[in-house]
Chain A
Amino acid sequence: DAGVIQSPRHEVTEMGQEVTLRCKPISGHNSLFWYRQTMMRGLELLIYFNNNVPIDDSGMPEDRFSAKMPNASFSTLKIQPSEPRDSAVYFCASSHGNEQYFGPGTRLTVT
């Protein structure tokens, strides 16, 4: 298995633009997680899905952030409109049980 796949690996955008981050979980995993990591706040859980259904989105910072999982093999995290404070590394992880497997991350820079 190729592991968790995230795209793009790097994204640079201007404030106000829409940003879409993509994730393909490991086949057979039934849970998917989106995290954000910054120097100031560390690694934060934003939202997670179980069997494609959002279970806990309490970590989503505000309405500008939304996440979808239309099927078992694909999820998106969208930021609209983006702001400079959204600059961070965004990780997607998948699991079957509590052993989570992380993707390489997307480094987002909003100027």
Chain B
Amino acid sequence: DAKTTQPTSMDCAEGRAANLPCNHSTISGNEYVYWYRQIHSQGPQYIIHGLKNNETNEMASLIITEDRKSSTLILPHATLRDTAVYYCIVPSPRADKLIFGTGTRLQVFP
């Protein structure tokens, strides 16, 4: 798996956009970027993934830079329920498995 680097923690005010960065400078051309999150005491939850185009779904938006060496997960209107650890993962296309790092602990405050 391509190595990813994320900040350890971030804060965000409720109602504001949360922008979570991820560096993956060793990513190769056919590797996707995946984002998961883990709310306290629950199993991880899939959020979104992308290859090179920006992606949006009901949970979040994913912005991938043109050189694909970094990406940003955007929660457009953060709520208290978005407080969680967010993982950026770049799995090898030759394998089915995901390697979870330490992620970013996002704290949304009132």
- A residues contacting B by CB (< 8 A) are 4, 31, 33, 35, 42-43, 45, 48, 50, 55-56, 91, 93, 95, 98-105
Contact = CB atoms under 8 A, between A and B. Distances in A.
Contact of B43 (A31, A56, A102): A102
Interface residues of B, number: 19
Contacts of A105: 42-43
A103 B96 contact: no
Interface stretch (B5-13, B14-22, B98-106): B98-106
Interface SS of chain A:
strand
Contacts, number: 46
Interface string B67-109: 0000000000000000000000001000111111110000000
Nearest to A97: B96
Interface of B: 32, 34, 36, 38, 42-46, 49, 91, 95-102
B78 to A, nearest CB: 22
A35 B100 CA distance: 10
Interface SS of chain B:
loop
Contacts of A55: 96
A103 B43 contact: yes
A43 B49 contact: no
Given A98-B32, A98-B49, A99-B49, A104 B98 contact: no
Given A93-B43, A98-B91, A102-B43, A42 B49 contact: no
Contacts of B97: 33, 45, 48, 56
A31 B49 contact: no
B15 to A, nearest CB: 28
